[in-house]
Structure 1
Amino acid sequence: MSMIVPTETLVKYDNPTLVSKNTDKRTKPKTPKTDNKQAGTIAVTGSGGPLPGLPKNKLTPVEAQKNQQTEEILNSILPPREWSEEGQLWKQCVSSTPATRLDVINLQEQLDTKLQQRQARETGICPVRRELYSQCFDELIRQVTINCSERGTLLLRVRDEIRMTIAAYQTLYESSVAFGVRKALMSEQGKGDMEERIEKLSEEKRDLEQQVLELKNKCDAIEKRENENRKLEEKKHQEEIQALKKTNTQLQAQLEGIIAPQKK
């Protein structure tokens, strides 16, 4: 299965080696040429160790075993990169060459350069800045692991914990965004119903206000009519009282007229 040629990285890798597809064994390393496509990758990743195919200094069995253990730990922390190009399978392992003070200074300069070239944001969330700092941290883990594998393993745990925390926050953010979108869609869908209900309630309110006004006018008319009726009744009552008083006066005068001759 073909893979894309690995891109530039701040992690220091050895020169790529050619791997046979049929036997899946490592063949004689191929020394890269300046006009080859891999030359660009090698120039970027850098090589602090001896070129494959060139004679190395003879190591004691203890040193050879220690280097092998270091390479195994490095490969477990930073797995080798593999890709296919022109029908050939290439493999590139992380470098096991110890880092010097100059390498650390160069790493810092490369980090600053990459941040400027890729226009990474200085503040806020920036995937480019996060990627470059992640590569820089991997390179620091590689440098520390070569000198002390236990310290490198501990830094690996720290790196994995940071990545897991960031992934958890990212999942939480995506869930929050999805929840917000769902709520927005639900509110948008129910907006028409709510507007229709508001219009209906407003119409009912206008009808009720009209009914209140009509009833108020009716009450005023009834109160006015009742006041007029009361005044008429009072006037009629007063007239009846005056008539009764007049009749009483007449009867009293007649009665006195009848009683007076009898006394004489």
Structure 2
Amino acid sequence: MIPPPDSLLRYDPPVLVSRLAEQRRPRAGSGGGGSSSAPPPPRPPKGGLPPPRPGRAAEPAQPAREVLNAILPPREWAEDGRLWVQEVSVAPSTRADVVRLQERLDLRLQQRQARETGICPVRRELYSQCFDELIRETTINCAERGLLLLRVRDEIQMTIAAYQTLYESSVAFGMRKALQAEQGKSDMEKRIAELEEEKQELEKQVNEQKAKCEAIEKRENERRQTEEKKHTEEVQFLKRTNQQLKAQLEAIIAPDK
């Protein structure tokens, strides 16, 4: 396990707790020899200080140490078979330290190429470390104020987690809707192809019916023209016959006069 990366939160120098091989080795007897590292203190209740540890002397920095260990737990790591523990620093900060913290924050943002706008995990991590450092500095001067800032930090993290869950669920919902739309698009394309084929078939039938109508009209026109010609010839024939009969009648009647 590699050591934890450098953080904006100020820590004390790491302390060697024990060797992992010695921890795995079974102890002889049931004596009361305790381990060299004490368990981390419990998390303080909301709005109150943690209970004092029994059997320890009342040191001036001990309450701040306990509150800080409860708010910002020590980090542990193993290196070369050794277990190291690093607690947050209880040293008070000056105005120069705050200015230096701001400069380090700006430098880290630039070095890690954090985005200035939008969602950026790198920027969120660095600002979270900076806020933890501010909580540490405030807790040393006033434990109650530090606990209140802890509640603010937890509320912010809970809100961000809720927004992240909402974002993930909205992305999943969008993916489902996109898949449904894609499936619906495929069905609609299939339906459109069927309707296009039906349209072409109907257009073909319309063209056939138009061709039949044109053929019938052409045939009827030819038949009408033929009948009109025949009728005209019959009329002409009857007129000539009438003229001839009229002339014959006049020829018969004329000598009698």
**Partner deviation per Cα, 1:218-252 (whole Å, 9 max, x = no partner):** 34444565677778889999999xxxxxxxxxxxx
Give the whole-Å Cα distance in 2 for the aligned partners of 1:222 and 1:154.
98
Please tell me whether the aligned partners of residues 74 and 145 of structure 1 are also in contact (alpha carbons under 8 angstroms): yes
- CA positional deviation for 1:201: 2.2
Aligned to 2:200: 206
Q: Identity over aligned residues, as a percent?
A: 69
Report 1 or 2 for greater relative contact order, CA contacts < 8 Å, sequence distance ≥ 6: 2
Give the aligned CA root-mean-square deviation in angstroms. 3.9
Give the whole-Å Cα distance in 1 for the aligned partners of 2:223 and 2:35.
119
Q: Which runs of 5+ in 2 are unaligned?
A: 28-33, 39-56, 235-257
Match of 1:25 among 21, 33, 36: 36
**Partner deviation per Cα, 1:103-145 (whole Å, 9 max, x = no partner):** 1011111111111221222222221111111100110111111
Aligned to 2:10: 12
- CA positional deviation for 1:100: 0.9
Give the whole-Å Cα distance in 2 for the aligned partners of 1:188 and 1:13.
54
1:113 aligns with 2:130: no
Q: Which runs of 5+ in 1 are unaligned?
A: 28-59, 241-264
Aligned to 2:159: 165
Give the whole-Å Cα distance in 2 for the aligned partners of 1:24 and 1:189.
64
Match of 1:93 among 81, 87, 90: 87
Aligned to 1:138: 132
TM-score by length of 1: 0.66
Give the whole-Å Cα distance in 2 for the aligned partners of 1:166 and 1:138.
16
Q: How many pairs align?
A: 224
Please tell me whether the aligned partners of residues 17 and 26 of structure 1 are also in contact (alpha carbons under 8 angstroms): no
Give the whole-Å Cα distance in 1 for the aligned partners of 2:223 and 2:136.
109
**Partner deviation per Cα, 1:142-178 (whole Å, 9 max, x = no partner):** 1111112222122112211211222222222222323
